[in-house]
Amino acid sequence: MILTEQKRRYFGTDGIRGRVGDGVITPEFVLKLGWAVGRVLANGGQNKVLIGKDTRISGYMFESALQAGLSAAGVDIYLLGPMPTPAIAYLTRTFHAQAGIVISASHNPYHDNGIKFFSGSGTKLPDSVELQIEAMLEQPLVTVDSAKLGKAHRVDDAAGRYIEFCKSTISSAIDLSPLKVVVDCAHGATYHVSPEVFKELGAEIVVMGASPDGLNINQNCGSTEPRLLQAAVLENEADLGVALDGDGDRLIMVDHKGELVDGDEILFIIARAQQRNGIGNSEVVGTLMSNLGLEHALTKSNLNLHRANVGDRYVIAKMQETGSRVGGESSGHIICLDKTTTGDGTVAALQVLAEVIETGHSLHELRTAISKYPQCLINVKVNKKVDLKNDAAVLAAVKSIEDKLGDEGRVLLRASGTEPVVRVMVEGRDATVTNALAKELASTIETILLA
């Protein structure tokens, strides 16, 4: 299978992101962005937009810039302070705001930051609206009359509102007191909310990564660096561990043996739980990168996997198309559409913990029904624009590898929209064979595209 990624001027697959001070990640641009968003999403009227952020130090600067831009557009601003991305989606709905803005670079290090948006319904913006914002950015910034400037308000009870929401996503009859859980907040936006959620539901908790200083977000911790969590689970003889990322929309777990449980396995456990409880239909949504082992395990359980393009917005679109209530990515973005409108690491973790309690099975036992296939991903540098779908030599190279894999694997090529590389992924039952075929295909693709 061959894909190409659409490139837009400012927006990537999840808002606008980059290194602070470089490109568009500057106070000047973000101020103009706030104004453009106010004009497009709030229609330039005296409406309201929520702003939340993670814990990185540059969040203060960009919060002020967005506030100024929105005020200039005549939009009232509600400041949430440090809050997880999914919390901002939830609060945007409950406040009946026209939009929610998140200042975060998710799992990236502190020197990066970004801006992403939610519509009034708590969903990611469609491509068409992002293009409207990009078009508005090309217009001169015009400030409304002083009497119509937007006002700023601080929301003091945002954390408490979100904690109660998270608790409501599992049955009130479920008591987590039998479980000892290590919670790694990645020194990010969940540091003051997620531990409280598990604690208030009865679990014995050990907290890690909950001392943000503006510079340590995602540093050797969280869902992208779970090694310390694995050690902590074993050291504390915990039942499991929960690793969130800097903005709280991603989840990786650790079982009592210290073994990682990734997004594909979490997705499988939640899908099986919904099936057991008679919730939703038999449709589950993953991405083109979801492991073939997940697909086979779901099939054995009479569940169907639908593959969307990489990116939670595309997962959600496919979920809406198929009527699925659960979808996600291998990286740990898990969306439970019967609970909320976007990926939420804390909510996803609660669904897994509820299944542990209700079935009496450990996390390790719940994951054993899925046997993941080895994957090999290689980035091939290119020096020109490539048309993968219509290059006869590329198509022939891909078919050759697919023929060798047969029904025991698959091939995926993606041309990056952000850097001059083609991503070559080969997946198969045998790791040695898979790695060899991936290297063979990557070498062939490199020869073709650099010729």
Residues annotated catalytic, as ranges: 106
CB atoms within 10 A of CB 16: 24
- In the block, tokens 């973005």 appear at 333
Most distant pair of Cα atoms in the chain: their distance: 70
C-alpha count within 13 angstroms, C-beta hemisphere, residue 341: 19
Find out whether 210 and 363 touch, Cβ atoms under 8 Å: no
CB burial readout 27-63, b (16+ within 10 A) else e: bebbbbbbbbbbbbbbebeebbbbbbbbbbebbeebb
Q: What is the 3-state secondary structure (H, E, C) of the chain?
A: CEEECCCCCCCECCEEEEECCCCCCCHHHHHHHHHHHHHHHCCCCCCEEEEEECCCCCHHHHHHHHHHHHHHCCCEEEEEEECCHHHHHHHHHHCCCCEEEEECCCCCCCCEEEEEEEECCCCECCHHHHHHHHHHHCCCCCCCCHHHCCCEEECCCHHHHHHHHHHCCCCCCCCCCCCEEEEECCCCCCCCCHHHHHHHCCCEEEEECCCCCCCCCCCCCCCCCCHHHHHHHHHCCCCEEEEECCCCCCEEEEECCCCEECHHHHHHHHHHHHHHCCCCCCEEEEECCCCHHHHHHHHHCCCEEEEECCCHHHHHHHHHHHCCCEEECCCCCEEECCCCCCCCHHHHHHHHHHHHHHHCCCHHHHHCCCCCCCEEEEEEECCCCCCHHHCHHHHHHHHHHHHHHHHHEEEEEEECCCCCEEEEEEEECCHHHHHHHHHHHHHHHHHHHCC
